[in-house]
């Protein structure tokens, strides 16, 4: 498993100047290469990443300032541009398939939009005192608050809105190919399946009835943000006082982001370590934030960030995270299965008209989420054991027998619902309809 480690760096004036000049040169090179690709396309020619990499020696001869930058840092610029094009083509394909998104052609980068440089393979070294020795930059003081596990692969220096620099180190080894039995080994242990319903009144409610209140860090900092924005608007744009006010505004945002990030890390670690089988809803959060009455609260809750962090932390712990269809999880009775169609968002207690069950609305939804996840997990277990055969004598491995996407559905189909992705241990088994 490859992980990213983010460490705060403490630079002197000379190192900041070197990083800033390197960043600006890479940004100008990125824009020039993007312009070259646009002109080549209009002329009916094709420019690739490799052809642009081969032109870098000529660029160094024409512009001597690029000689002060490590060679692999410069070579990473066309790689970054190539990724932007790949993402653009991927969005075009999704749009052609009916998804309501913007294609978003790669744009020219301003100073605010190009904030990092990367050493992809070499040119850096972690010293025994925890500092980093980077080529053309020098020895950089870094606060290494935790050890880096595995082989170090890349080093990225990134600047945030407040002008602080961070070192991001990716390290680790790719996972070995796991067998089907490895993914279902938790059947022999205490699975403790738990469903989690995310919301606004309670940030998370689990199927055991435990509620976690939303901290609402953005709401608490709104007054300071209003004052900082008002102070910024009174200054002449790009003046010295404007830059100082803009820096103060960035610091207010920075504190809110750090508070939310710290809370989501602790919450996701608690969830991932307690349960072997964790079930969330596959929510369309991008569509939900279009509701202007709830958009700010949904963004402040950061549901996606919590689910994302829980997923990779559960994967490293050998646990499983499932995402199930969210249709009618709040309206369905967790005891008898009756769907209460007249349930309103303001109804915080679920009263079943058939069996008479009275339960908290979010807890009822969490139980339904857990039941759907458990059904999906057991269904896939039976399906894979039916369509995979054992190989060798006494070996526990399985090999696929011309298997495609999973054909059946473990949860009821609802209109305008998308397939539910099944992810186990980081491996995607297909789409369950």
Alpha helices by DSSP H, listed for 129-233, are 180-183, 217-233
288-333 tens-digit pLDDT: 888 888 899 999 999 999 999 999 899 888 888 999 999 899 999 9
What band does 131 get if pLDDT is binned at 50, 70 and 90?
very high
d(CA 388, CA 350): 43
Mean pLDDT, residues 118-140: 93
Those residues with Cβ within 8 angstroms of residue 356's Cβ, 6 or more apart along the chain or in another chain: none
User: Between the CA of residue 258 and those of 218, 305, 387, what are the distances in Å?
Assistant: 11, 13, 47
What band does 428 get if pLDDT is binned at 50, 70 and 90?
very low
Query: Are the C-beta atoms of residues 409 and 309 closer than 8 Å to each other?
Result: no
Sign of CA dihedral 283, 285, 291, 296: positive
Query: Are the C-beta atoms of residues 362 and 197 closer than 8 Å to each other?
Result: yes
Q: Has residue 354 got a pLDDT over 70? A: yes
pLDDT value for 183: 61
Q: Which H/E stretch holds residue 29?
A: helix 13-42
Q: Has residue 401 got a pLDDT over 60? A: no
Query: Are the C-beta atoms of residues 117 and 73 closer than 8 Å to each other?
Result: yes
Mean pLDDT, residues 35-50: 94
Q: Has residue 389 got a pLDDT over 80? A: no
pLDDT value for 205: 94
Q: Which H/E stretch holds residue 165?
A: strand 165-172
pLDDT value for 206: 93
Q: Which of 420, 334, 418, 415 is nearest to 376 (CA)?
A: 420
Those residues with Cβ within 8 angstroms of residue 224's Cβ, 6 or more apart along the chain or in another chain: 252
Q: How far is CA 428 from the centre of its chain?
A: 16
pLDDT value for 192: 79
205-235 tens-digit pLDDT: 999 999 999 999 999 999 999 999 999 999 9
pLDDT value for 171: 93
Q: Domain segments of the chain: what residues?
A: 2-172, 180-215+255-432
pLDDT value for 25: 95
Q: Which of 211, 415, 191 is nearest to 318 (CA)?
A: 191
What pairing do the DSSP bridges indicate for beta strands 277-281 and 320-324?
parallel
What pairing do the DSSP bridges indicate for beta strands 194-198 and 202-206?
antiparallel
Q: Name the percent of the chain lying above pLDDT 70.
A: 85
- SS3 (DSSP) at 37: helix
pLDDT value for 185: 66
pLDDT value for 156: 97
What pairing do the DSSP bridges indicate for beta strands 194-198 and 165-172?
unpaired
pLDDT value for 427: 42
Mean pLDDT, residues 164-184: 76
Q: Which H/E stretch holds residue 91?
A: helix 71-96
pLDDT value for 269: 94
Q: How far is CA 246 from the centre of its chain?
A: 27
pLDDT value for 223: 94
Most confident of 86-95, 98-107, 282-291: 86-95
Angle at Cα 377 formed by Cα 374 and Cα 378, nearest 5°? Answer: 85
- SS3 (DSSP) at 75: helix
Unique residue bearing structure tokens 């803009």? 246
Intra-chain end-to-end CA distance of the chain, in Å: 29
Sign of CA dihedral 202, 206, 211, 212: negative
pLDDT value for 392: 46
Query: Are the C-beta atoms of residues 264 and 305 closer than 8 Å to each other?
Result: yes
Q: Has residue 396 got a pLDDT over 50? A: no
Tokens standing for 321?
A: 């995270």
The DSSP string of 269-304 is HHHHHH-SEEEEE---HHHHTT-TTTHHHHHHHTHH
Mean pLDDT, residues 82-98: 94
pLDDT value for 387: 64
pLDDT value for 191: 73
pLDDT value for 286: 84
pLDDT value for 21: 95
58-85 tens-digit pLDDT: 999 999 999 999 999 999 999 999 999 9
* More confident: 397 or 29: 29
Mean pLDDT, residues 183-191: 64
Those residues with Cβ within 8 angstroms of residue 75's Cβ, 6 or more apart along the chain or in another chain: 53, 56, 120
Dihedral pair phi/psi, residue 125, rounded to 5°: -155, 135
Tell me what the pLDDT averaged over the chain comes to.
Answer: 85
What band does 1 get if pLDDT is binned at 50, 70 and 90?
confident
User: Between the CA of residue 239 and those of 4, 111, 127, 190, 245, what are the distances in Å?
Assistant: 37, 17, 41, 63, 10
DSSP 8-class letter at 318 = T
pLDDT value for 222: 93
d(CA 167, CA 158): 7
Mean pLDDT, residues 159-179: 83
Mean pLDDT, residues 366-376: 92
Mean pLDDT, residues 184-204: 81
Residues in the chain: 433
């Amino acid at each position: 498993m490859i992980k990213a480690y983010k460490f705060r760096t403490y630079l002197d004036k000379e190192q900041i100047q070197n990083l800033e000049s390197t960043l600006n040169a890479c940004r100008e090179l990125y824009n020039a290469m993007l312009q070259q690709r646009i002109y080549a396309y209009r002329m009916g020619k094709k420019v690739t990443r490799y052809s642009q990499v081969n032109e870098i020696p000529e660029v160094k001869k024409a512009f001597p300032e690029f000689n002060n930058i490590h060679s692999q840092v410069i070579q990473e610029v066309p790689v970054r541009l190539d990724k932007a094009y790949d993402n653009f083509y991927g969005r075009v394909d999704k749009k052609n398939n009916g998804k309501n998104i913007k294609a978003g052609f790669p744009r020219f980068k301003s100073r605010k939009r190009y904030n990092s440089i990367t050493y992809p393979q070499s040119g850096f070294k972690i010293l025994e005192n925890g500092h980093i020795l980077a080529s053309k930059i020098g020895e950089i003081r870094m606060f290494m608050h935790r050890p880096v596990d595995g082989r170090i692969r890349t080093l990225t220096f990134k600047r945030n809105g407040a002008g602080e620099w961070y070192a991001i180190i990716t390290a680790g080894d790719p996972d070995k190919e796991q067998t089907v039995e490895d993914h279902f080994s938790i059947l022999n242990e205490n699975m403790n399946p738990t469903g989690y319903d995310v919301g606004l009144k309670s940030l998370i409610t689990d199927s055991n009835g435990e509620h976690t209140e939303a901290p609402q860090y953005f709401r608490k900092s709104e007054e300071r943000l209003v004052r900082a924005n008002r102070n910024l608007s009174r200054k002449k744009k790009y003046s010295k006082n404007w830059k100082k006010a803009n820096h103060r505004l960035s610091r207010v945002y920075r504190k809110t982001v750090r508070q939310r990030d710290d809370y989501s890390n602790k919450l996701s670690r608690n969830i991932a370590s307690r349960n072997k089988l964790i079930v969330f809803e596959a929510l369309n959060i991008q569509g939900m934030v279009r509701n202007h009455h709830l958009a700010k609260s949904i963004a402040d809750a950061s549901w996606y960030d919590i689910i994302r962090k829980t997923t990779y932390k559960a994967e490293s712990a050998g646990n499983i995270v499932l995402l199930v269809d969210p249709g009618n999880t709040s309206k369905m009775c967790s005891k008898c299965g009756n769907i209460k169609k007249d349930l309103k968002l303001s109804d915080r207690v679920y009263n079943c008209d058939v069996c008479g069950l009275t339960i908290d609305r979010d807890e009822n939804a969490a139980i339904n989420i857990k039941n759907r996840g458990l059904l999906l997990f057991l269904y896939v277990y039976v399906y894979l054991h039916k369509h995979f055969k054992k190989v060798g004598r006494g070996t526990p491995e399985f090999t696929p027998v011309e298997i495609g996407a999973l054909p059946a559905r473990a949860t009821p189909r609802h209109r305008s619902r998308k397939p539910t992705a099944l992810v186990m241990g980081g491996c995607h088994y297909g789409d369950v309809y």
